[in-house]
């Protein structure tokens, strides 16, 4: 072997570890780990049943992309409901006064189209979940109310607002929304389901939480707020309109990790 051939061989050999690493990253399957915070925010508002929780995302072996995120929630009596992510928020920094008290935060909200999880650092997001079934259920009644409102408004009658407030369409919508309240006391187990354009493996895919009768009583008080909120929307068409105050109650449940993946 000539000196030139030896040098070429050594140079080619030096690239082998890099080529092996590139090949591994190309063909490796990402291993995604999701860790929920200690507490979750459980609610029921005009958006229906809600489940919000801060989560940390990590990916080993290779970067991963999530384009769908669902929570399948099963009550101890066997009732199963599915939530889908509806919003993501991230806190960049906190604003504190001279005494050290928090005065606010700086962050960003985003619509969850896709989420990239890298291997170099953890991704922390506050994930907001809603139930698609709720929106599908109320849509026919909501469309009927909107159609009736537009009809009465275009008819030129001066008391169309009061007519809408007394309409059967409004009462039907309120009934459907209130009938959609299904939270109940007991233990829930949640299973994380992700979708991605590429193959992946998910670890730590389950956790549990408990709701007490006090939690349910607090959330049920929001049912009255549904009617109040809709009255505010309709009465906002009056010149002397003053909105009634709405305060939604929330339940804060302890998260219990039940699967190590």
Higher pLDDT, 57 or 96: 57
151-194 pLDDT per residue, tens: 999 988 889 999 999 999 999 999 999 999 999 999 999 999 99
- Give the residue from 211, 192, 227, 178 showing the smallest Cα distance to 39: 211
pLDDT at 134 over 60: yes
Question: What pLDDT score does 98 carry?
Answer: 52
Phi-psi group of 204: left, alpha or beta (phi > 0 → left; psi -120 to 50 → alpha; rest → beta): left
- Give the residue from 68, 73, 74, 72 showing the smallest Cα distance to 86: 68
Per cent of the chain over pLDDT 70 is 82
Between CA 183 and CA 160 the distance in angstroms is 36
Spell out the residues 6+ positions from residue 17 whose beta carbon is closer than 8 angstroms to its own: none
Q: Give the single-character DSSP code of 161.
A: H
Between CA 175 and CA 143 the distance in angstroms is 15
Between CA 113 and CA 115 the distance in angstroms is 7
Between CA 45 and CA 186 the distance in angstroms is 21
Between CA 108 and CA 89 the distance in angstroms is 5
- Band the pLDDT of 96: cuts 50, 70, 90: very low
pLDDT at 19 over 70: no
Enumerate helices (H) and strands (E) in the chain, giving the number of each: 6, 13
Between CA 170 and CA 80 the distance in angstroms is 29
Q: What is the mean pLDDT of residues 76-83?
A: 97
pLDDT at 27 over 90: no
Are 32 and 117 contacting, i.e. CB atoms less than 8 angstroms apart? yes
Spell out the residues 6+ positions from residue 255 whose beta carbon is closer than 8 angstroms to its own: 36, 37, 38, 39, 40, 53, 207, 208, 209
Are 214 and 233 contacting, i.e. CB atoms less than 8 angstroms apart? no
pLDDT at 22 over 80: no
Between CA 108 and CA 88 the distance in angstroms is 8
Quote the distance between the C-alpha of residue 37 and its chain's center: 14
- Band the pLDDT of 196: cuts 50, 70, 90: very high
Are 186 and 210 contacting, i.e. CB atoms less than 8 angstroms apart? yes
pLDDT at 105 over 80: no
């Amino acid at each position: 072997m000539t000196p030139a051939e030896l040098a070429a061989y050594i140079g080619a050999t030096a690239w082998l570890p890099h080529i092996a690493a590139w090949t591994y990253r190309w063909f490796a399957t990402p291993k995604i780990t999701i860790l929920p915070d200690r507490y979750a925010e459980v609610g029921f508002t005009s958006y229906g049943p809600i489940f919000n929780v801060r989560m940390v995302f990590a990916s080993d072996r290779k970067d991963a992309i999530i384009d769908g995120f669902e929570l399948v929630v099963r009550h101890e009596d066997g009732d199963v409901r599915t939530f889908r992510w509806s919003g993501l928020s991230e806190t960049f920094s906190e604003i504190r006064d001279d005494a050290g008290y928090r005065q606010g935060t700086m962050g960003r909200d985003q619509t969850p189209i896709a989420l990239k999880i890298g291997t170099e650092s953890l991704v922390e997001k506050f994930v907001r979940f809603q139930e698609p079934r709720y929106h599908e259920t109320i849509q026919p009644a909501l469309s009927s109310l909107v159609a009736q409102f537009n009809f009465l408004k275009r008819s030129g009658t001066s008391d169309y607002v009061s007519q809408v407030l007394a309409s059967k369409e409004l009462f039907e919508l309120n009934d459907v929304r209130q009938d959609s309240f299904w939270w109940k006391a007991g233990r829930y187990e949640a299973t994380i389901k992700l979708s991605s354009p590429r193959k992946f493996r998910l670890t730590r895919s389950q956790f549990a939480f408990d709701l007490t009768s006090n939690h349910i009583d607090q959330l049920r008080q929001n049912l009255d707020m549904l009617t109040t909120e809709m009255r505010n929307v309709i009465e906002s068409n009056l010149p002397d309109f003053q909105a009634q105050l709405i305060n939604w109650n929330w339940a804060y449940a302890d998260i219990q990790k039940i699967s190590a993946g």
